[in-house]
């Protein structure tokens, strides 16, 4: 048995447990630390067919015995439903310094029914893992079974809500379903383990932020079961869990791992507010089990999720209705420097940013707490465009790759600052192997700070400036190739050897004065090739002073070293146009374009692919003997330059204009909801005849089970029709219902609208509320209070399920109607209900709901709408129910242009209506005009045909109290670049034959 958490906490200070293990399957002794000296990091990973080892000590991961600092970013393949574009995001991450991508795999996305799993098309996990390997990124895999992720049900499939067994416990029924899921996932993952050379999966997470039953047998047994299951499926990389905060939950030894030791990592998540001081969760913190990394002192500091932004709720309460632009402003590049550098100073060497690309919670994927966009304020926005937040990620990622000293740092002596440097905090660390010193300077004040610091190796204090609410990293004693950097007040970014010289890049804010000192045994020859710089040599030090403005180039030759050093001093904006890339022939450094995707050396030719936005010069440093360049397959004239580089004779062209058509003409309109008419034939609908349920919502006495999930309807809208014969004396009807945030209900009696009830817009206190219940009371018209047959028709927009973050089975809270009663009468109702039909085998179960138009293919491009009414926008209809609008448009974007296009909907915010957006049959999300804040919806290339015809369908749901649109509907260009990746169009015209027959569903 594993130690209890309480017992282990008592022993943690004296006993070292989490040690290292290689991927061969042989275990090391639990008390014999496997370690490694500071040295070069592992090579760029790939599916090389060779076996690799993955271990760790208290400092870092050890890959093949070499230290690796994990600099990771989160993206979710399910939030970008165009597999071609996965490569685009991964290449952007790799180019900007990330060495790892972290992904959730969402159970509900792959499983429409028990026993049925789909890993094809947009769900092709194997393809994603292959693409990550080809891009040179490690993968942190996080398949749950619970993932949270602001996704419907926290990733639990809809069908799980109608099963017995308590989720996230050791309940055997629940575990049987979990095992089924993990068997499917792990069969794919096992082929891509880095330990076996089949791919780049580096780490594997079990469960997610699991803080329930920590000290109870069912919790420990649950974690032990997941551990055993994953290992039995052949997953041999280190496993971990992410603590929801700093609680010391699930540290090594806290549950039974079947005798394995040294293969389990403790991780904790952190989303500190930008208005607070960055926290110390390691070397400089409070220590103990609630101190972050100190909870597991013999494993490296690991933050599987650190805030790269924050999600936004319906109504935009958190960001003053300004949406993700405000999220990005609050957690900007300066935030990243302050908070991420603080993590590095605290010994966090496994660092993953959630999110780096947020993407889109399209269709019915989003949990109730969020709207369609999951932009998150991330470094790469929802339209796949780089933002200024990539600058520190680029700089720090390259730093950690090129300077191995940072993989093994201990706390060093405190550094005194000037008394006048109010708000300045200095972290001082040193590498015990190399003697290098690292300083993190953080300014928590509201004003810039200038101070002099006694950096190691400097005879006099070095002047340092840190802008307000910002930070920087300085180093002393690190190697720049064969030379040593004694000190500098500029931040190191990279050092590599290209051809006959070594190159080092130091960075900082534009306009800053820098001083850099290099150790030289004798006076070197110094040539300022570009920019302005002054230099002086004395007492074995070459001192170079320059102001950061673009790119300053200083060539240092001799001085006791035969290899010249090209020192490049770059301001922030310039630094993100410097692209190092490893090739089998040696490193390549490219300067100029907006993005470098790939680089290869072929004899004397360097072949590059990438993007430009504006016209850009192209300059390349690479192995000796190169004298030819190609860019995106086109040969360029090039010449040798004084910096030892190869320069293109002409600038690379920028991106051309992208023309987008107007969407004012060509619309056709048709009203629906025939289900509200008393004569509608509902004989094929599902009878509501259940009397018991596995839901956590009680069934009201005397009522049948009306919950949609119990009848196999898990996504989107649900219709109910109740027949009864006597309404004599009925004054009103009361409809109790349960939905997610912003759910609503509409009712008709004998075809007459009774009205609409909607859940309130969340405020700061209720934005996290995942389930909402209400009772809608409507008057029964006098003329309908008869003893004749009647039909009560009800449409419920359910808005999906709670995420069950507290492990209380809240994903099983009912959705849809829960009870129906009359005042003044007590008729007996016979109910039938209808939701979504069988899942679309291409788009998946979350694409469609139960609207009449969805069930009959009105959203599909191939649908014949010739008989619909031609209309023009804007519209001002007033009716309760659903109206569809369809149009088509053509795009003719140049083949060499990557254009990201969005759809904008705007209208008078007083108008109460919402729109489901279908592009070529794909549900791109939901717009709520009077709630917001989202107005722009990205249309991913592949679903969007950028060179061809497209069909746009809008399903407008309005309550009849105000005029409803659509009003202003237009395309907008979110960004464009010359370059991009090849994109395959996804199937669109028809859903094809059902892949799975769904019980309780009928067309």
> Where in the sequence numbering do the catalytic residues fall?
209, 305
Please tell me the distance from the alpha carbon of residue 636 to that of residue 428, in angstroms, as a whole number.
Answer: 47
Is 273 buried (19+), middle (13-18) or exposed (0-12) by CB count in 10 A? exposed
- Assign 434 to helix, strand or coil: coil
- DSSP H helices, 150-236, are 172-189, 217-232
Going by C-alpha positions, the residue among 516, 434, 515 that lies closest to residue 477 is: 434
> CB–CB of 200/192 below 8 Å?
yes
Please tell me the distance from the alpha carbon of residue 675 to that of residue 682, in angstroms, as a whole number.
Answer: 8
| Residue 315, CA distances (Å) to 4, 318, 359, 737 in order | 44, 9, 19, 21
Angle at the Cα of 32 (from 30 to 34), degrees rounded to 5? Answer: 105
Token pair for 695: 């839901």
CA 572 and chain centroid, separation: 25
Return the H-helix or E-strand segment holding 887.
strand 880-892
- Which regions of 481-632 does DSSP assign to beta strands (E)? 483-488, 491-498, 501-508, 513-519, 524-530, 533-538, 541-547, 551-558, 565-571, 578-583, 586-591, 595-602, 605-611, 619-621, 628-631
Contacts of 457 (CB under 8 A, 6+ apart): 437, 476, 477, 486, 487, 517
Report CA torsion sign: 696, 697, 698, 702: negative
Instruction: Name the one residue in this structure whose structure tokens are 């570009």.
Output: 530
> CB–CB of 461/433 below 8 Å?
no
Token pair for 660: 């987008």
Please tell me the distance from the alpha carbon of residue 90 to that of residue 98, in angstroms, as a whole number.
Answer: 9
**How many other C-beta atoms are found inside a 10 Å radius of the C-beta of residue 420?**
9
β partners of residue 935: none
Pairing of strands 565-571, 501-508: parallel
- DSSP H helices, 411-570, are none
């Amino acid at each position: 048995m594993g130690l209890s958490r309480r017992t282990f906490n008592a022993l943690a200070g004296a006993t070292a447990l989490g040690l290292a293990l290689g991927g061969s399957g042989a275990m090391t002794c639990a008390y014999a630390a496997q370690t490694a000296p500071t040295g070069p990091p592992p090579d760029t990973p790939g599916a090389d067919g060779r076996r690799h080892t993955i271990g760790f000590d208290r400092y870092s991961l050890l890959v093949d015995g070499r230290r690796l600092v994990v600099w990771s970013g989160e993206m979710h393949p399910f939030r970008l439903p165009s597999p071609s574009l996965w490569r685009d995001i991964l290449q952007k991450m790799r180019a900007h310094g990330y060495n790892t991508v972290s992904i959730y795999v969402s159970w509900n996305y792959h499983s429409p029914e028990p026993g049925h799993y789909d890993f094809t098309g947009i769900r092709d996990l194997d393809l994603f893992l292959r693409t990550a390997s080809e891009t040179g990124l490690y993968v942190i895999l996080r398949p749950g079974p619970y993932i949270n992720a602001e996704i419907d049900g926290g990733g639990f499939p809809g069908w799980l809500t109608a099963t017995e067994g308590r989720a996230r416990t050791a309940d055997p029924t629940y575990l049987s379903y979990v095992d089924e899921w993990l068997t499917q996932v792990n069969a794919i993952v096992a082929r891509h383990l880095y330990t076996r050379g089949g791919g780049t999966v580096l780490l594997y997470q079990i469960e997610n932020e699991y803080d329930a039953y920590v000290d109870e047998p069912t919790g420990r047994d649950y974690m032990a079961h997941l551990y055993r299951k994953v290992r039995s499926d052949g997953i041999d990389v280190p496993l971990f869990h992410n603590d929801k905060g700093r609680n010391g939950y699930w540290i090594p030894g806290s549950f039974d791992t079947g005798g394995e030791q040294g293969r389990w990592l403790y991780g904790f998540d952190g989303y500190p507010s930008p208005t607070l001081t960055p926290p110390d969760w390691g070397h400089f913190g409070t220590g103990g089990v609630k101190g972050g990394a100190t909870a597991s002192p013999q494993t490296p500091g690991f933050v599987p999720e650190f805030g790269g932004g924050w999600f936004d709720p319906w109504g935009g309460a958190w960001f003053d209705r300004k949406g993700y632009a405000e999220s990005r402003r609050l957690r900007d590049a300066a935030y990243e420097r302050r908070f991420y550098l603080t993590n590095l100073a605290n010994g966090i060497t496994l660092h993953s940013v959630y999110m780096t690309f947020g993407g889109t919670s399209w269709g019915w994927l989003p949990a109730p707490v969020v709207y369609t966009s999951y932009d998150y304020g991330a470094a790469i926005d929802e339209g796949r465009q780089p933002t200024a937040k990539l600058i520190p990620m680029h700089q720090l990622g390259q730093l950690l790759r090129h300077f191995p000293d940072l993989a093994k740092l201990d706390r060093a002596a405190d550094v005194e600052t000037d008394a006048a440097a109010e708000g300045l905090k200095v972290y001082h660390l040193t590498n015990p192997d190399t003697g290098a010193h690292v300083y993190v300077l953080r300014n928590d004040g509201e004003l810039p700070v200038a101070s002099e610091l006694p950096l190691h190796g400097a005879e006099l204090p070095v002047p340092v400036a840190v802008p307000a609410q910002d930070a920087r990293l300085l180093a002393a004693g690190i190697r720049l190739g064969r030379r040593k950097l004694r000190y500098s007040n500029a931040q190191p970014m990279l050092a590599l050897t290209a051809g006959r010289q070594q190159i080092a890049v130091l960075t900082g804010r534009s306009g800053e004065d820098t001083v850099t000192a290099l150790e030289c045994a004798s006076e070197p020859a110094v040539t300022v090739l570009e920019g302005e710089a002054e230099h002086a040599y004395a007492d074995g030090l070459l001192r170079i002073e320059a102001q950061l403005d673009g790119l300053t180039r200083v060539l240092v030759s001799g001085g006791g070293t035969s290899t010249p050093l090209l020192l490049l001093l770059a301001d922030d904006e310039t630094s993100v146009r410097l692209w190092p890339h490893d090739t089998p022939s040696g490193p390549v450094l490219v300067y100029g374009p907006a993005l470098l995707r790939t680089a290869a050396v072929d004899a004397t030719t360097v072949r590059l692919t990438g993007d430009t936005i504006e016209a850009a010069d192209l300059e390349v440093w690479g192995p000796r003997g190169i004298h030819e360049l190609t860019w995106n397959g086109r040969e360029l004239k090039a010449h040798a330059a004084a910096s030892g580089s190869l320069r293109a004779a002409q600038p690379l062209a920028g991106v051309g204009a992208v023309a987008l058509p107007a969407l004012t003409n060509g619309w056709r309109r048709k009203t629906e909801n025939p289900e509200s008419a008393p004569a509608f034939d509902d004989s094929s609908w599902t009878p509501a005849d259940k009397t018991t349920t596995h839901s956590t919502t009680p069934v009201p006495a005397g009522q049948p089970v009306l919950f949609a999930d119990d009848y196999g309807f898990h996504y989107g809208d649900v219709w109910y029709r109740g027949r009864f014969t006597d309404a004599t004396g009925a004054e009103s009807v009361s409809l109790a219902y349960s939905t997610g945030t912003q759910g609503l209900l509409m009712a008709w009696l004998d075809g007459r609208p009774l009205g609409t009830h909607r859940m309130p817009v969340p405020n700061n206190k209720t934005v996290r509320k995942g389930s909402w219940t209400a009772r809608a009371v409507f008057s029964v018209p006098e003329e309908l209070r008869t003893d004749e047959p009647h039909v009560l028709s009800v449409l419920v927009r359910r808005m999906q399920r709670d995420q069950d973050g507290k492990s209380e089975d809240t994903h099983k809270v009912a959705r849809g109607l829960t009870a129906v009663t009359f005042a003044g009468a007590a008729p007996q109702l016979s109910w039938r209900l209808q939701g979504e039909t069988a899942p679309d085998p291409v788009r998946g179960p979350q694409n469609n709901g139960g609207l009449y138009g969805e069930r009959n293919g009105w959203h599909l491009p191939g649908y014949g709408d010739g008989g619909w009414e031609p209309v023009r926008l804007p519209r001002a209809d007033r009716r309760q129910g659903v109206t569809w609008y369809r149009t088509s448009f053509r795009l003719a974007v140049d083949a060499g242009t990557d254009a990201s296009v969005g759809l904008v909907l705007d209208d008078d915010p007083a108008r109460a209506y919402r729109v489901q957006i279908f592009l070529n049959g794909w549900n791109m999300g939901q717009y709520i005009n009077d709630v917001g804040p989202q107005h722009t919806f990205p249309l991913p290339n592949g679903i969007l045909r950028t060179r061809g015809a497209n069909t746009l369908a809008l399903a407008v749901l309005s309550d009849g109290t105000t005029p409803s649109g659509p009003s202003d509907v237009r395309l907008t260009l979110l960004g464009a670049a010359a370059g991009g990746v090849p994109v395959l169009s996804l199937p669109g015209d028809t859903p094809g034959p059902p892949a799975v027959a769904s019980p309780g569903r009928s067309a």
